[in-house]
Amino acid sequence: MFKKIAEFDERVSRYWFFHRFSPKVDKWLRFYTRLGDGYVWALVIIFIVWNSGISFLGNVLVQVLASLAVSLAAYWAIKLLARRKRPFEVIEGFQALVPPLDKFSFPSGHTMNNLAVASTLFLSVPVAGALMMALPLTWGLLRVYFGVHWLTDVIGGFCLGILSFLLGHLIWLYLLEPHFLCLS
């Protein structure tokens, strides 16, 4: 089964890598992908403060941090257990067209960690969260396009990001929220 998955991943990666957009579009997509490194969240914070106030932001940040803590812990544990090589390390003629943020490929952190945050936002601030839900998936797919991830890294990151959100939300509901409300 793993062999079939690897063959599928390689076919997808080869196709996307060797069917490029124009250099101008690629340049814009590189910029867009870099937003997934965490930069876009500053704009979300500004939006939440402008729309709902600073005290509401504190409540949202605690919930986001719970989901993100679960996501990062799972992310690093799985990365170090899986130790999956990146496409540019496996496929001859490939190169990384954007910098990988760490050594191993599975799961896609751009997808996983950003989706855990976006899911929490969707629950807390639906108007901002709806847009934010689409970003992690597009960032992950572009990481495949730029040769630093396999498609199954993105699919795994998506599933693990949702799971991280769910576990983080349970932590919020049963451990953090009761104490946080006492401080208000």
| Least confident residue range of 48-62, 86-100, 101-115 | 48-62
What are the residue ranges spanned by the domains of the chain?
2-183
pTM: 0.87
Q: How confident is the model at residue 41 (pLDDT cuts 50, 70, 90)?
A: confident
User: With contact defined as beta carbons under 8 Å apart, do 94 and 147 qualify?
Assistant: yes
Comparing C-alpha atoms, which of 44, 20, 30 is closest to residue 127? 44
pLDDT for residue 167: 96
Report whether pLDDT(28) > 90. yes
Note the CATH architecture for domain 2-183.
Up-down Bundle (1.20)
Q: 126-129 long-range contacts, Cβ below 8 Å, gap at least 24? A: 127/51, 128/44, 128/47, 128/48, 128/51
> In whole angstroms, what is the distance from residue 93 CA to residue 45 CA?
41
Q: Which runs of consecutive H residues, i.e. helices, occur in 35-107?
A: 40-52, 54-82, 87-90
pLDDT for residue 125: 80
Amino acid identity at 157: G
pLDDT for residue 160: 97
Report whether pLDDT(21) > 70. yes
- Mean of pLDDT values over 156-169: 96
Length in residues, the chain: 184
Q: How many helices (H) and strands (E) does the chain have?
A: 9, 0
